[in-house]
């Protein structure tokens, strides 16, 4: 553990939604939800205005619509998010050679590894970083500073939105004492329930219970790790960026799963979680992997390679379900996992070619036979879907009216609001979906007054 708060954790505030509000003046100060908009879509990010209605990330979009029906629901534009993320990560790299990105909008920085502390204390470095990010992108980020990664991340959560919190070494236990056990990394609902049954609700109560009691409740590995975290101990170093070869999630169950329907539901849930992580990293993948560990600790993995890279949750969910069909789970399952490998920075242009007819119909998308049979994937900007795919939030340009974005489409029509980062809220017009004067366009960026970083 360090003697000063020299590990920095940056978390951009409602990143995807904030980018959309910066680009679309009519949405500033209003609820915005970014994510999958199909019948089985999930929320990637909700603006703070939408969060006031109880909308949050990982929530089914259908549920979010019920809670906040008047929000703007937009498809993500990962190409633009990656571009802005690169600017932010470059600012972090100027502070230290040890930068550990967790996603497009989140990273750890080891300030002791660079020269940032030569003339400023950690708090000064953090405040200067937030000003630089705002100047370069027009967006806000929250900063946590502490002597460990775990505490720095907790501090940035406490700082949200648009703030900075520093946890001085020696104050950890007092700060953590009243927080719920779910605050600690890796503590999910199952572990929380085990602790709750033992009368343990807060981190302070976890530390007071002692290591022996936690070992009895949770087993050696989990109990030892939890006790250390409850004391505020985290020795993990900041690890410089490495190119991920796969993205995966897995869950271990306190009671072995024997019901086949429950196993199938868990695999579907894990597939959705895996895709959320994939999208947060701005990646796609072509190989889906399912992992099943049985009651006797024997482990099976099965994989399926798709025709092209994808980040579509329906595609990954269906592939995972097919893989599970060939695995016998009747004796009991103690662990399930879903992963995606063969990562790429792009998806196949015709994602609908991988959809089932039912999914395509539910999403209101016709599946042209000629396109579905196209043998070669095409690399495209995620922010520029092909003509006829008009998606909410998509950038477009009209020969007469200029640049704008799609508010909605259906029944052969597409509605466009013509505005951009430098304009006042724009006018709305409706066109035929096949209007030859309307074209997909590149995102409008940067926000006026925010200049690209100097070399």
Q: Could you say which of 20, 100, 106, 172 is catalytic?
A: 106
- Between the CA of residue 325 and those of 101, 318, 384, 420, what are the distances in Å? 36, 11, 36, 49
Q: How far is 389 from 233, CA to CA, in rounded Å?
A: 50
The H or E element that residue 228 is part of is: helix 220-230
Around Cβ 173, how many Cβ atoms within 10 Å?
A: 14
For the sheet containing 106-110, what is the strand order? 99-103, 106-110, 7-12, 141-146, 164-166
**Whose CA is closest to 2, among 120, 168, 129, 115?**
168
Peptide bond into 393 cis (omega under 30): no
What is the domain partition of the chain in residue ranges?
A: 173-230, 246-344
Its pTM stands at 0.70
Q: How far is 113 from 98, CA to CA, in rounded Å?
A: 6
Around Cβ 134, how many Cβ atoms within 10 Å?
A: 14
- Residue tagged 């949750």 (tokens): 313
Peptide bond into 161 cis (omega under 30): yes
Task: Look at residue 290 and give its three-state secondary structure.
Answer: strand
**Active-site residue, 106 included:** yes
pLDDT (tens, 9 = 90+) of the chain, 455 residues, equals: 688 899 999 999 999 999 999 999 999 999 999 998 877 688 989 999 999 999 998 888 999 999 999 999 999 998 899 899 999 999 999 999 999 998 889 999 999 998 889 889 999 999 999 999 999 999 999 999 999 999 999 999 999 999 999 999 889 889 899 999 999 887 878 889 999 999 999 999 999 999 999 999 988 888 898 999 999 988 889 988 666 678 899 888 878 899 999 999 999 999 999 998 888 877 889 899 999 998 887 889 999 998 888 888 999 999 999 999 989 998 899 899 999 998 876 543 333 333 333 333 333 333 333 222 222 222 233 334 445 579 999 999 999 999 999 999 988 999 999 999 989 999 999 999 999 999 999 888 866 566 556 54
The H or E element that residue 67 is part of is: helix 61-67
Are the C-beta atoms of residues 444 and 394 closer than 8 Å to each other?
no
* CATH number given to 173-230: 1.10.150.20
Are the C-beta atoms of residues 393 and 20 closer than 8 Å to each other?
yes
Output the six-digit token pair for 187.
Answer: 């503590």
Query: What does the buried/exposed string (b/e) look like for 20-34 if buried means 16 or more CB atoms within 10 Å of the residue's CB?
Result: bbbbbbbbeeebbbb
Does the domain formed by 246-344 have CATH 3.30.1490.100? yes
Q: How far is 182 from 176, CA to CA, in rounded Å?
A: 11
């Amino acid at each position: 553990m360090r003697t000063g708060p020299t590990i920095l954790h940056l978390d951009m505030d409602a990143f995807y939604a904030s980018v959309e509000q910066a680009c679309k003046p009519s949405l500033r100060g209003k609820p915005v939800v970014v994510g999958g908009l199909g019948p089985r879509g999930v929320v990637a990010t909700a603006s703070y205005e939408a969060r006031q209605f109880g909308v949050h990330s990982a929530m089914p979009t259908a549920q979010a619509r019920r809670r906040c029906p008047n929000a703007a629901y937009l498809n993500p534009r990962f190409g633009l998010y990656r571009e802005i993320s690169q600017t932010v990560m470059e600012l972090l790299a100027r502070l230290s050679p040890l930068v550990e990105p967790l996603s497009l909008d989140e990273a750890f920085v080891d300030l002791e590894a660079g020269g940032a502390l030569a003339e400023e204390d950690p708090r000064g470095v953090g405040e200067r970083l937030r000003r630089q990010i705002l100047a370069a992108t027009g967006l806000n980020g929250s900063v946590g500073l502490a002597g460990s990664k775990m505490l720095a991340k907790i501090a940035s959560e406490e700082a949200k939105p648009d703030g900075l919190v520093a946890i001085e070494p020696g104050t950890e236990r007092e700060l953590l004492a009243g927080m719920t056990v779910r605050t600690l990394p890796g503590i999910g609902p199952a572990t929380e329930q085990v602790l709750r049954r033992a009368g343990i609700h807060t981190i302070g109560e976890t530390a007071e219970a002692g290591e022996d009691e936690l070992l009895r409740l949770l087993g050696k590995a989990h109990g030892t790790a939890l006790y250390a975290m409850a004391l505020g101990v985290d020795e993990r170093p900041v690890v410089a960026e490495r190119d991920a070869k796969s993205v995966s999630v897995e869950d271990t169950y306190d009671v072995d799963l024997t019901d086949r329907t429950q196993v199938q539901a868990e695999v579907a849930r894990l597939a959705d979680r895996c895709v959320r992580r994939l999208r947060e990293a701005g990646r796609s993948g072509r190989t889906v992997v399912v992992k099943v560990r049985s009651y006797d600790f024997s482990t099976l993995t099965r994989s399926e390679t798709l025709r092209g890279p994808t980040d579509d949750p329906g595609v990954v969910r269906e592939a995972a379900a097919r893989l599970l069909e060939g695995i016998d789970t009747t004796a009991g399952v103690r662990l399930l996992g879903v992963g995606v490998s063969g990562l790429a920075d792009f998806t196949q242009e015709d994602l609908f070619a991988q959809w089932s007819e039912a999914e395509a119909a539910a999403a209101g998308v016709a599946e042209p036979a000629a396109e579905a049979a196209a043998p070669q994937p095409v690399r495209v900007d995620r922010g520029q879907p092909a003509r006829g795919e008009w998606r909410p939030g998509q950038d477009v340009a009209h020969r007469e009216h200029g640049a704008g974005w799609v508010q909605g489409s259906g029944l052969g029509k597409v509605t466009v609001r013509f505005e951009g980062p430098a304009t006042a809220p724009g006018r709305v017009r409706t066109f035929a979906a096949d209007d030859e004067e309307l074209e997909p366009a590149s995102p409008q960026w940067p926000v006026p007054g925010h200049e690209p970083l100097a070399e």
